[in-house]
């Protein structure tokens, strides 16, 4: 069953036309640059700032050291979901869990 996407923001390319972050009822869809690993996209750090306060991407992020993260998730293949996005030829999209922050305290008590 197709999911409705709620657009959250786009940033990172010249003119800030992509990559993009979307929200579904139970997760996020990250539209980013294709990588050599299926199910993994590259997104700019700034894209995460579009997530609603109190939420975060529930998938490990690997910092590339050049202002981007690699994020892995379930490849988006549903035609109705894909039709809701403007995807450049060098991009693809993955769905990742949406988690809620539960604690904002110190890393070390003391």
DSSP assignment string, 15-82: GG---EEEE-SSEEEEEEEE-SSTTEEEEEGGGGGGSPTTEEE-S-EEE-SSSEEEEE-EEP--HHHH
The model's pLDDT over 64-101, given as tens digits with 9 standing for 90+, comes to 999 999 999 999 999 999 999 999 999 999 999 999 87
pLDDT higher than threshold 70 for residue 110: no
- The residue with tokens 């990559």 is 19
pLDDT of residue 2: 77
Contacts of 83 (CB under 8 A, 6+ apart): none
């Amino acid at each position: 069953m197709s999911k409705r996407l709620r657009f959250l923001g786009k940033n990172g390319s010249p003119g800030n036309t992509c990559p993009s972050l979307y929200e579904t009822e139970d997760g996020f869809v990250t539209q980013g640059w294709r990588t050599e690993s299926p199910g993994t996209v590259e997104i700019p750090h700034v894209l995460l700032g579009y997530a609603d306060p109190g939420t975060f991407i529930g998938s490990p992020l690997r910092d590339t050291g050049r202002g981007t993260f690699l994020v892995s998730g379930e490849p988006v293949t549903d035609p109705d979901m894909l039709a809701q996005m403007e995807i450049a030829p060098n991009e693809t999209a993955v769905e990742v869990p949406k988690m809620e922050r539960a604690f904002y305290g110190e890393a070390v008590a003391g």
